[in-house]
Amino acid sequence: MKPRTNYTKSGDFNIAYQVLGDGPVDIIYIPGWVSNIDMMWAEPRLAAFLTRLTLFSRLILFDKRGTGLSDRTDQYSTMEERMDDIKAVMKAADSEKAFLFSHSEGGSVSLLFSLKYPQKTLGVIGFGIFAKRRYSKDYPWAPTDAEREVSNKLIEENWAHGNLDELRTLVPSLAHDNIFMDWLASYLRSGASPKAALILHQQCTHIDVTGVLGKIKVPTLLLFRKGDIEILVEEGRYLAERISNSKLVEFSGKDHLFWTGDCYAILAEIEEFVTGIRPHKSEFQMSDHIKRKTGVDLETVMSENFLFNLKVEEFAKLCGRSLSAFKRDFSNSFNTTPSRWIKAKRLEYAKELLLASDLNINQICYDCGFINSSHFIKSFKAKYKLPPLQYRSERLKA
Query: Across the beta sheet with 220-225, what order do the strands follow?
Result: 6-10, 13-20, 58-62, 26-30, 98-103, 121-127, 220-225, 246-251
Residue 378 is predicted with a pLDDT of 93
> By three-state DSSP, how is residue 13 classified?
strand
pLDDT in tens, 33-70: 899 999 999 888 899 899 999 999 999 999 999 899 99
Beta strands in 128-197 (DSSP E): none
For residue range 146-155, what is the model confidence (pLDDT) as tens digits? 988 888 888 7
Q: Which domains are assigned to the chain?
A: 6-282 (3.40.50.1820), 297-398 (1.10.10.60)
**Whether residue 388 has pLDDT greater than 80:** yes
Predicted confidence (pLDDT) per residue in 80-110, tens digit: 999 999 999 999 999 999 999 999 999 999 9
8 A C-beta contact, residue 259 and residue 45: yes
CA atoms within 13 A on the CB side of 201: 22
SS3 214: helix
